[in-house]
Amino acid sequence: MTLSKSIIKVSAIAIFWTLLAQLLSGVIGDWFKRAAFNAEAELFIELILTGILIIIVLAYYGHKRQLQLFALSKNKLGSLYLKGLVFGLGTFALIWVIAVALRAVKVQVPTNGQGLIWFVPMLLGFGIQGFSEELLTRGYVLSKLTAIGAPLAGIWTNAVIFALLHAMNPGINLFAVIELVMTGVLLSLLRLRFDSLWLSAAFHTAWNFAEGPIFGVYVSGNHFSAALLQTKTNPGLDWLNGGLFGLEGGLIALAVITAVTIILISWYRRHPDPRTAQLFH
């Protein structure tokens, strides 16, 4: 099979799993959301329901005895996950600090205490949601194309799919699309170098958790009111702060993610490793 056909096949299967999971979560979610007593409870249910993708994908490939495809080894799981959490939180915190320093946003401290009430449940919810997206992109797509000797194609294919998963989100813009693709590239580099999905999944979780429950920024176009802080974008600076999509849709986030990716590639070149050697011929 040619590389182009492999890319089309892998992408089609990934889209199939996404649509199936969304269909099932939509049916089940309608029933559960009736019990939601506020917006935070409804969001929590939505995040938990993303676990349906995890269940059906792992059940299918587990039945086929192909779970090794997803790089879910327990070797150094704890340390890799912790590193991913710190890396993801630190990266987004840097973006937030720059946005505050440039006066692209304004920050308020809520007094209703909702941020503390929902802190732990939302960490669980974003953990499931982040892992589900990583399982599909850096897990399935990247691994399948890397297995046939095409890691670069795997990186760019999964990164584009990752951006497409957010294409219908409120406030989406060109900066957001490019930033999502670059984030996909960054997470792919982490996944390949450490041969573990846990690191990229933890980064993804920490990034979204920092956006929402910690800094109170729009999470890929979705407003989050129960947070430790409330960060509002200043009007007229959408190109810088991302507007209604959130900080990840602005030039600040794109610049930081691109810089981190370049630094990581430079470090990989100076410290060669067989797992990423094909990328730098």
**Tokens at 205, concatenated:** 């979780």
In angstroms, the Cα distances linking 137 to 116, 180, 191, 201, 260 are: 32, 12, 11, 11, 20
**Tokens at 233, concatenated:** 């974008």
Mean pLDDT (whole number) for 93-116: 90
Q: How far apart (Å, rounded) are the C-alpha atoms in residues 10 and 6?
A: 6
Q: How far apart (Å, rounded) are the C-alpha atoms in residues 192 and 275?
A: 6
pLDDT at 185 over 70: yes
How would residue 35 be classed by pLDDT, with cut points 50, 70 and 90? low
Provide, rounded to the nearest whole percent, the portion of the chain with pLDDT above 90. 71
What integer pLDDT is reported at residue 36 of this predicted model?
63
**Could you tell me the residue ranges of all domains in the chain?**
3-280
How would residue 148 be classed by pLDDT, with cut points 50, 70 and 90? very high
Mean pLDDT (whole number) for 52-71: 92
How would residue 44 be classed by pLDDT, with cut points 50, 70 and 90? confident
pLDDT at 39 over 80: no
Residue with tokens 């957001």: 176
In this prediction the pTM is 0.94
pLDDT at 33 over 90: no
Please state, rounded to an integer, the average pLDDT across all residues of the chain: 91
